[in-house]
Amino acid sequence: MQQIRDLAEEWEVRSSATPFQGRVTGVRTDEVLMPDGGYARRDYQTHPGSVSVLALDERQRVLLVRQYRHPVRQRLWELPAGLLDVPGENPLHAAQRELYEEAHCKADQWRVLVDFYTSPGGTDEALRLFLATDLAEVEGERYEAHGEELQIQTARVPLEQLIAGILAGELHNPTLITGTLALHAALSGAGLAQLRPADSPWPARPFPAL
């Protein structure tokens, strides 16, 4: 049986420039050698990477947050998520921080649910999505929110309801869609024991061991 897996490969780049660099992300322009011998320009967003958390409570409900996303002019239901914008930070620690900051929650059990590139034709953003179980609220004061996060709403929704909403075209966040369907596939198959440990290697965004 043929093994189906992605392969690391890098085509020759004749020139590279960064016409824009923002606080976190930028735009890079590469001239890449094509198989026919010519060169083609590829513009893409450079990104430090992201983490997200599918947190499952004792009633098998998924913890959601809803916030405004200006590029699409919508308030989207999403999973808690954030940037890997702290140099050297372990992805698990970043995910635990986001779960606390956005939902005032913590979890005792963590696994890798899925790794993916959010839009590989237009950005180098890599995202690690964790499954967090044994969920509980954090004691003490809440994190002081800023910007869009001032109006974050939270909800806990059964997995079956999320699947129905995705297939009906009512939910659009790609991380929520990916996580929901990945969790459903895991539960329908060999169970959560098949998932990787939370500190599993991540070649797209290497990090030091805990």
Catalytic site residues? 149
Give the H or E element holding residue 92: helix 91-103
Locus of tokens 């967090």: 132
Whether the Cβ atoms of residue 128 and residue 112 lie closer than 8 Å to each other:
yes
Residues across the chain: 210
CB of 83 closer than 8 Å to CB of 50: yes
State the DSSP string of 170-186: ----HHHHHHHHHHHHH
Query: Cα Rg for the chain, rounded, in angstroms?
Result: 19
Does residue 159 contact residue 184 with C-beta atoms inside 8 Å?
Answer: yes
Cα separation, 209 vs 103, in Å, equals 27
Find the angle CA(135)-CA(136)-CA(138) to the nearest 5 degrees.
Answer: 135
99: helix, strand or coil: helix
